[in-house]
Amino acid sequence: MENFSDNSQEIISVSEVNNRAKNLLEREMSRLWIEGEISSFTAHSSGHWYFTIKDKKASLSSVMWNSDNDKVLFKPQVGDKLIINGTVSLYSPTGRYQLNAKHIELAGEGALLRAYEQLKSQLEQEGLFQQESKKELPLIPKKIAVITSSDGAVLQDIINVLGRRAPSIELILIQSSVQGENSAPQICNALKKVASLGEIDAVIIARGGGSIEDLWAFNTESVARSIHSLVVPVISAIGHETDFTIADFVADLRAPTPSAAAEILSQSHSNLEALLRTQESLLINAVSNNINSEVMTLNNLGKRIRHPGEKVRELFQRIDALETGVKSAIKNLIIVNKNRTKILSSNLLQFSPTNLLQQSNHRLESIEKRLSGETSKIINEKKSLLLGQVSTLEAVSPLAVLGRGYSIISKNDGSVITSDKDVSVGEEIVGKLKDGLIKAKVIKN
């Protein structure tokens, strides 16, 4: 048997062959762009994707690790035509070569449309589009934040509308890129800034029209969730009237254009003057009705008040009656005592006891003195009580107030004037003093 081996020839293992082939493939066939159709697809529980792409003549096994596919905005399906960027490599244990995909996209605009529909369906299922979760716009906003680029015409359109329709609204610009790779993070940061500012009544997110690629920042999940989490109501004014983005569905209100968004928020300011006139009329009527009611109540109370002089006269009449009663009682008492004296005198004369007569005379004198003293005491107490009540009445009497230099100013019809607003220039007024009346005319109020 012939031995073909040569001691100078290197002998390597199968593994080494596969490793060398792997290195060669990865060196010579790296960063390729390949177009093909998916013929099979498996999403492993580990997160890795295993699939096969083909054309009319051949097929190629492919893999995309989860560290790379988590950046893909859509999930591939069998039959999708893809453009793939990756490196051809070899799986050493089996010697099978494969494409390690780093980036995939659907051919044409299909990738963006697929990602748009998948994200829209996901967020709709989560309830981010529900009408019940929409926040109401303020009736009369005072401060509005606008998230847009300061370079475009969009900002000037909003400024022009608000300046014409509601110049009192304070406008705050939060600068953000609205197109390109960094625009979505900037929009999210702008929404966070709105939340930190406080006292913002509404937010307008605005930009002009463009292609689906130009508007893509507003179709990202991060921007959608930032809009939904904001406590301030958001109006989306993105693109033209026919352009729809994910942000439009999440926002509390969609405006067809940025100018329309400004008109919506300024609508109530246009009606503010008429609203104020209506409220003024209602307030005047309410105050007038209240005043009329109070005047009627005062008039009714005034009719129930008795003049102090009438009360004093009643007290004097009661005193006179008491005095008459006391005098009558004294007279009756004197008559009784006189009768008793006569009886005693008769008894004395009948029995002639001189000492008894003298004692009776002394006792009679003592009784008369005591009776006179008690009578005087009662009269003095009643007079003191009367004087106290008279003083009290005089203290609260309007006539006493007039006596201290004050006066009561009234109109000719007798109504009392309590405010300079009750009279007008040229009107005649009457002043009641302690000792009479004076008439005057208003020259200034």
What is the pTM assigned to this prediction? 0.43
- pLDDT at residue 262 above 70? yes
Domain assignment of residue 9, yes or no: no
Among 171-185, 331-345, 355-369, which range has the highest average pLDDT?
Answer: 171-185
143 and 265 assigned to the same domain? yes
Domain assignment of residue 388, yes or no: yes
Domain assignment of residue 83, yes or no: yes
pLDDT single digits (tens) 55-66:
888 998 999 999
Q: How many domains does the chain have?
A: 5
Domain assignment of residue 126, yes or no: no
Domain assignment of residue 184, yes or no: yes
Of 326, 327, 356, residue with least CA distance to 343: 356
Residue 413: domain span: 403-441
Q: Which residue has the tokens 């303020």?
A: 138
- pLDDT at residue 25 above 80? no
pLDDT single digits (tens) 110-142:
666 777 778 888 888 988 888 888 888 888 888
196 and 245 assigned to the same domain? yes
Domain assignment of residue 90, yes or no: yes
263 and 149 assigned to the same domain? yes
Q: What is the DSSP letter of 136?
A: P
Joined tokens for residue 42: 């498996």
The percentage of the chain sitting over the pLDDT mark of 70, rounded to a whole number, equals: 88
- Cα 200 to Cα 193: distance, rounded to the nearest angstrom: 11
232's CB contacts (< 8 A; 6+ apart) are: 135, 145, 194, 195, 200, 201, 202, 203
281 and 336 assigned to the same domain? no
- Residue 238 backbone phi and psi in degrees, to 5: -115, 125
pLDDT single digits (tens) 345-389:
777 666 666 766 777 788 888 888 888 888 888 888 888 888 888
Q: What is the pLDDT of residue 6?
A: 57
- pLDDT at residue 342 above 70? yes
- pLDDT at residue 228 above 70? yes
181 and 92 assigned to the same domain? no
Torsion angle, alpha carbons of 370, 373, 379, 385, to 10: -110
Pairwise pLDDT comparison (54 vs 295), residue with the higher score: 54
100 and 202 assigned to the same domain? no
Mean pLDDT value of segment 180-191: 89
171 and 218 assigned to the same domain? yes
